[in-house]
Amino acid sequence: MYNLTETTKVVILFGLTILFSLAQRFWLVRANRIIDHVASARWRRWWRILVIAALAFVIFTFADRLIFRIVFFRLGILSWTMGFAQLWLVFSSLAFLAVKAVHVVEWIWSWLPRTSVPVLAAAAAGESAATGAGLNNVPLDPGRRKLFRYMASLAGCMPFAAGIYGFAGERLRYTVERVDFPVANLPHALSGLRIVQMSDIHIGNFMPASEVRRAVDMANELGADLAVLTGDYVTNSRDPLRECLAELSRLRAPLGVWGCNGNHEIYAGVEEEVEMLFPRMGMNLLRQESVRLSWRGASFNLIGVDYQSDHFGGRHLGLVDSAHLVRRDIPNILLSHNPNVFPCAAAMGIEAVLSGHTHGGQIQIEIVDSRWSPARFISNFIAGRFQLPMDGKSRPELQGKNSSLYVNRGLGTIGIPARLGAKPEITLLTLRQA
């Protein structure tokens, strides 16, 4: 799913542009209708100027996020307004789709054969039903039209309510996921080793240092033996990296705190700064490096790599160059921000991979018995535990391989400052023999 072609990406971008444009036009028309009821002509003019200015800012936000990537407004209060503009863009589009879905149902109802909606609709409207049984386009009675209007209003309000909840509620509702994590070739002495994992902090306006501190306190209460950090400490170069790492350095574990870089360290140009600050703050950063750690008389090999770029291409750049870090005498645990390295890591003989990057999609929509997430466009490994062999469809190089992956949903947000169905996560992994 994640190895999309350039053509597919263009089609998706074009589709999103059409959807967002139609949604904004829809709400602009609705806003104008409301403004028309304002008595004062002067106030009507000012309200229209305000609405047009807000729409222009939303359009700029969309263009900046998906096309230009200037990030011009990432300064002070304007970064807050940009976050809310992106929030509006997404949930207003979902509300638009919800309203139009009700309109489609209403249209289908109006064109049902008279035999499917017999005389009831016409009789309720006080009309004669003596015009034959096979005619279409039975008029809806006023009561039914009012019902559909209420349904459309309710459908339109639900995405906005969900957006408010996702911003004010679920975004900061940290959950502790306790996971038994099977590792192949794990010595009996290492069974029960506890690893606390945090990922995708994204410190900034929507993730202040006080919230990072709260998450660290929750992690310390778990009493883990090892603490790992799987990248994306900041979103851009203006975010307070030192504050973030200072809070993370409060993590306590007998085997220490170990981490790797994420893609936003690359975008922010702070990879070397992170490498410098980690040891100063009592932590350890692994960049194409490995370390042997011992616990209860047994050892394992902890490997850490920088972000492995595979943007829609299925490539795992640099990981193959780290093959010399893999050991054959003890189990290997890889820290890699991008979970898409899992097949490649398994083929190299790595028994366990800990990742982040996807945020669990940030928004997951459950439809019947399946869940949809935008993270599907970048990875098949959205959140939680995965294990080889998987469903017998493994590639030839993975035949006979036994490896596990855990994808942490992260703490912070990117794009829109909200989460729905993908709560921020602190993971406590307990190693078990596979």
* E strand spans, 326-383: 332-335, 352-355, 365-367, 370-372
Q: Prior bond to 187 cis, omega within 30? A: no
Query: Could you tell me what percentage of the chain is helix, strand and coil, using 3-state DSSP and rounding each to the nearest 5?
Result: 45, 20, 40
Task: Tell me which amino acid residue 366 is.
Answer: E
Tens digit of each residue's pLDDT, the chain (434 residues): 455 566 776 787 788 889 888 999 999 999 999 998 888 888 999 999 999 988 888 877 767 665 545 555 455 556 677 778 888 988 999 999 999 999 998 888 877 765 444 544 444 444 444 444 444 455 556 777 888 888 989 999 999 999 999 999 999 999 999 999 999 999 999 999 999 999 999 998 899 999 999 999 999 999 999 999 999 999 988 899 999 999 999 999 999 999 999 999 999 999 999 999 999 999 999 999 999 999 999 999 999 999 987 654 444 445 656 788 999 999 999 999 999 999 889 888 899 999 999 999 998 877 656 677 787 778 889 999 998 865 545 566 666 678 999 999 999 998 889 999 899 999 999 999 98
Closest residue by Cα to residue 378 from 303, 307, 426? 307
Direct distance between the N- and C-terminal alpha carbons of the chain, in angstroms, rounded to an integer: 28
Question: Global pTM?
Answer: 0.83
The CATH architecture of the domain made up of 175-433 is 4-Layer Sandwich (3.60)
**Close Cβ partners of 336 (under 8 Å, ≥ 6 residues apart):** 230, 260, 304, 305, 308, 319, 345, 353, 354, 355
Give the pLDDT of residue 20. Answer: 87
Q: Rounded distance, CA 305 to CA 335, Å? A: 7
Q: Rounded distance, CA 432 to CA 377, Å? A: 32
Rounded CA Rg of the chain: 26
Give the pLDDT of residue 63. Answer: 72
Q: Rounded distance, CA 135 to CA 165, Å? A: 46
**Close Cβ partners of 22 (under 8 Å, ≥ 6 residues apart):** 96
Asked if 429 and 197 count as a contact pair (C-beta separation under 8 A), the reply is: yes
Token pair 């993971």: residue: 427
Angle at 397 between CA 396 and CA 400, to 5 degrees: 85
Domain definitions of the chain by residue range:
1-168, 175-433
